[in-house]
């Protein structure tokens, strides 16, 4: 029954990934090629995980944490959840008092998490297993000066670091540590940690690829900003969060003035280049917490968490100045109109968007090149 539930969960996750790839195809073919490749690799990895999972469920001993947690590792495509479950399984191995997991992707580290370690200890034992096909584990013994360790009966004493592998490559390490001064981790414990790492490596790699596919599907291929679907999902999430914690939330909706005339003059291909440059200038003045999206042809929106209408108006002004700062090849100097709204009591996501959008249309009616508050 457990196996059936896990396989169903994996199937649902695969369908979500395929749906994300389909969304990317409707945005831009170049993005679709990347998403399709990521999803194909993800699906292949998931099939391998199902085969491993079947073997683990049929042949495992329930008392061993590595096998007991294997179905949970394979049942999620969230990187943090995979790491959390792997650490929970490692901490359940007899003799283990703390554990740490680190994993890398093509772009660098994508997860680093621990259980039972202080930040200082985490920095001290952030060890990596060296790359070697036949490496099983690295044993580590920590030695302290008598005066430094006096009174510290709970300091880390020893541990092992086992490699995390996926598709034949080492992608990270799982370290397990004991605070006992009287014993090191047993051979049986190392064996369980090794089997856990064999499950955790592919699960982490699958989760990383899924996150990569989702990120690509959430982007507008032309401008590199988030797309319309991501905008509405994020706006709904931020409205719910602001309402729950009584925080402020503001929204800017922006339209490039007379952009149709630019397209008519230089053609749609060159017009795409103008949009990409305008988006880059918009991005250059954004705060790290702001979420910029392309929601239409030449229409953009910016979600401002923890901000009010006055903050949104200031940012809209900075965006307008950045876009008009110098001519854009083929378009000359561009101006924009913007509408600003702040979340009110009882507002739904659509209410906030419609008020900002209505303010934008009023800015257009009043002569363009200005920002109007709802």
Known catalytic residues are 298
The two tokens of residue 315 are 């940012």
Task: Write out the DSSP string of 289-345.
Answer: T-EEEE-SSSEEEEEEET--HHHHHHHHHHHHHHHHSSPBTTTBS--EEEEEEE--T
Longest dimension (CA), the chain: 81
CB atoms within 10 A of CB 21: 23
Other residues' Cβ atoms within 10 Å of the Cβ of residue 335:
13
> Are the CB atoms for 189 and 92 separated by under 8 Å?
no
Q: Are 131 and 119 in contact (CB under 8 A)?
A: no
Strand 158-166, strand 138-141: pairing: antiparallel
CB 332 within 8 A of CB 310: no
Distances (CA, A) of 175 to 121, 124, 189, 241, 325: 12, 12, 12, 36, 53
CA angle (34, 40, 42) in 5-degree steps: 100
Check residue 241 and report its DSSP letter: H
Distance CA 368, CA 360 (A): 9
For 227, which DSSP code? Answer: -
Cα 38 to Cα 24, 35, 49, 161, distances in angstroms: 12, 5, 16, 30
């Amino acid at each position: 029954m457990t196996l059936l539930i896990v396989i169903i969960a994996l199937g649902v996750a695969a369908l979500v990934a395929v749906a994300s790839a389909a969304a990317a195809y409707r945005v831009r073919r170049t993005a679709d090629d990347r998403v399709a490749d990521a999803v194909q690799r993800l699906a292949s990895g998931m099939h391998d995980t199902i085969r491993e999972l079947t073997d683990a469920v049929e042949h495992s001993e329930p008392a061993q944490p590595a096998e007991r947690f294997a179905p949970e590792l394979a049942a999620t495509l969230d990187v943090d959840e995979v790491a959390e479950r792997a650490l929970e399984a490692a901490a359940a191995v007899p003799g283990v008092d703390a554990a740490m997991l680190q994993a890398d992707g093509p772009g660098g580290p994508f997860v680093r998490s621990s259980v039972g370690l202080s930040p200082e200890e985490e920095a001290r034992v952030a060890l990596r297993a060296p790359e070697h096909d036949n490496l099983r584990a690295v044993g580590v013994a920590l030695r302290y000066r008598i005066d430094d360790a006096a009174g510290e009966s709970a300091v880390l004493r020893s541990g092992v670091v086992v490699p995390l592998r996926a598709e034949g490559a080492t992608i990270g390490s799982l370290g397990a540590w004991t605070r006992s001064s009287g014993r090191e981790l047993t051979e049986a414990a190392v064996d369980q940690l090794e089997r856990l790492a064999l499950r955790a490596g592919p699960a982490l790699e699958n989760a990383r690829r899924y996150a990569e596919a989702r990120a690509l599907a959430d982007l507008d291929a032309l401008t590199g900003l988030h797309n319309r679907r991501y905008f509405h999902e994020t706006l709904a999430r931020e409205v719910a969060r602001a309402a729950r914690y009584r925080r402020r939330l503001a929204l800017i909706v922006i339209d490039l003035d007379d952009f149709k005339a630019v397209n008519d003059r230089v053609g749609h291909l060159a017009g795409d280049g103008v949009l990409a440059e305008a988006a880059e200038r918009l991005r250059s003045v954004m705060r790290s917490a702001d979420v910029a999206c392309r929601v239409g042809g030449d229409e953009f929106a910016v979600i401002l968490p923890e901000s009010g209408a006055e903050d949104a108006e200031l940012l809209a002004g900075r965006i307008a100045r950045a876009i008009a700062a110098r001519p854009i090849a083929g378009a000359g100097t561009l101006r924009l109109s913007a509408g600003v709204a702040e979340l009110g009591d009882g507002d739904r996501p659509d209410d906030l968007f419609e008020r900002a959008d209505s303010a934008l249309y009023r800015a257009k009616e009043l002569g363009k090149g200005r920002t109007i508050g709802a």
